[in-house]
Structure 1
């Protein structure tokens, strides 16, 4: 019986980029089936620490709040960055601890599950349950939302949240490694906790929110292009970009607009945050969203996740082939 020639395996010297791609591939595959319960997630410690740091500054002047917010952000970055550096410095197998850390920072399943629960609740006419579950996805007041309002809020919120918790960390880790990813996720998480839509964090969270918008924009742009290429639209991508410029933040407006055109529905319009009505432009077509569109936005995001997974597989194979020469 002829022996298998496996000598080529010994010729493969994996680069750091190849290792990161393999780690991402493993994490993205696991994420399809396993999700750490939110009650056990280390981010709870981060949230608690962030809230404690912000507890006593809200009655100060706007300038003092901005400075305090910047100091808080610097403290949080120093803690998470320092903790990661210590782990990696003493790690015998750095790739293993990178897998653990990045696995904790990247997740899509909890958000997709929340959107599915909202959809099923509306299908069963359980609006109260749908409104409660919607709070896992967005900050707006949900107590008085109609079926239309719940459908619109879910359709808008899901892709925005997935950018922060899934697509942006994947892109940053693939390009820049673990330290840049920890830094980016720390800033984005702080921006969510100190979201400027909460009036008491309008000045305090300004720096975190500004940095977060810069950090996640490349992922927002790639995500929007991905949806446009996969599903198309009844208009050009340049028109989608021009409409998105009317949104209060261009990146979020781009995501919402391309989603609206892909689903052939209308998104945007007035919303209420802390009993204050905020007027936003209408994006997309004239068809009002419904429960069907929640199912569609879940399907769209799942297909984008699959396409990113496919790209990672292609990149891994290409990297391994290149490393053999």
Structure 2
């Protein structure tokens, strides 16, 4: 019996089934943020940056230090997982567990729901504090509209990167690639060049992630645009073509604006410095009620991805 299970564990359909189960578990039973392993990489990134990222260093040195720091934190984890997988008799199970941990967007729904409830009660200051874990921008001076817009932008960008992109990379390149990508996302969050102290240190990592996520982001943007109106989406994207947004993010936010029929994006403050970015979409600004609409829209995309995978599995046996 055990030998038969081991044989099944190396079959295509078994791996596909475990992938679907991992996605379903991440969708309906997400691991609380406090139990996520990525916090360890975040702490490691902070400690490394304190040692090697100095304001007195030249821009070239900081870029090189950022590259080496990324390799130091990523390579041991990726190589270690490859070795662990080779030693395991259940590699497909390990892969599914890695995918489950990588799809850590479940906390966003709860956080945005909490923000919506706070705004409905008129607790703007509390809503600003609740938004902070989702964004790097300064939130202390945001208006109610600013909080809603920032929350909705973070929602779609986080789902596109931490959900859609991770699933696509996992399906094409495997669990090791998905794990590596997820670690890179965490390092990028800690060393984001939008923060002045990391404008050079995190530049290499930002450019790498833009390249790695370009096709998945464009694909998700296209799928979303086809559902809500491709023509209008392209009009919004062209109107915001001033260089302030990379093409994949600009198309995604344009499709998101068409989904909500509300304006997305815009200028933001990072460490008391204003980053000028184009507003995308119609003139109508989002309201508190749009948070619930956005959550439903993202849930529908998650369900569609899972049903597509299930259909492929059923067709295989059909």
The answer to whether TM tops 0.5 is yes
Match of 2:238 among 207, 228, 242: 242
**Mapping for residues 1-325 of structure 1, pairs under 5 Å:** 18-56=13-51, 57-59=53-55, 60-232=57-229, 235-243=231-239, 245-246=241-242, 247-321=244-318
Q: How far apart are the structure 1 equivalents of 2:20 and 2:175? A: 15
* Contact kept in structure 1, 2:65 and 2:201, CA below 8 Å: yes
When the two chains are superposed, the root-mean-square deviation of aligned CA atoms in Å is 2.2
Mapped to 1, the partners of 2:169 and 2:316 lie a distance apart of 18
User: What is the deviation of 1:14?
Assistant: 8.0
CA distance in 2, matches of 1:224, 1:162: 12
Q: 1:82 offset after TM fit, Å?
A: 1.6
- Specify the structure having the higher radius of gyration (Cα): 1
Question: Paired residues, what number?
Answer: 311
Higher share in helix? 2
SS at structure 1 position matched to 2:62 = helix
TM-score when scaled to structure 1? 0.89
Q: State the 1:51 CA deviation.
A: 1.3
2:134 partner SS: coil
SS in 1 for 2:89: coil
The change in CA–CA distance for 1:159 and 1:16 in structure 2 (over 3 A counts) is farther
* Structure 1, 67-76 or 291-300: larger mean CA deviation: 291-300
CA separation of 1:58/1:21 partners in 2, compared to 1, >3 Å: closer, same or farther? farther
2:240–2:278 contact (8 Å) kept in structure 1? no
Does the CA-based 8 Å contact 1:106-1:169 persist in structure 2?
Answer: yes
Change (3 A) 1:87 1:320: farther
Q: Secondary structure at the match of 1:289?
A: coil
- Unaligned stretches of 5+ residues in structure 2: none
- Give 1:197 deviation, angstroms: 1.0
Query: Which runs of 5 or more residues in structure 1 are unaligned?
Result: 1-9
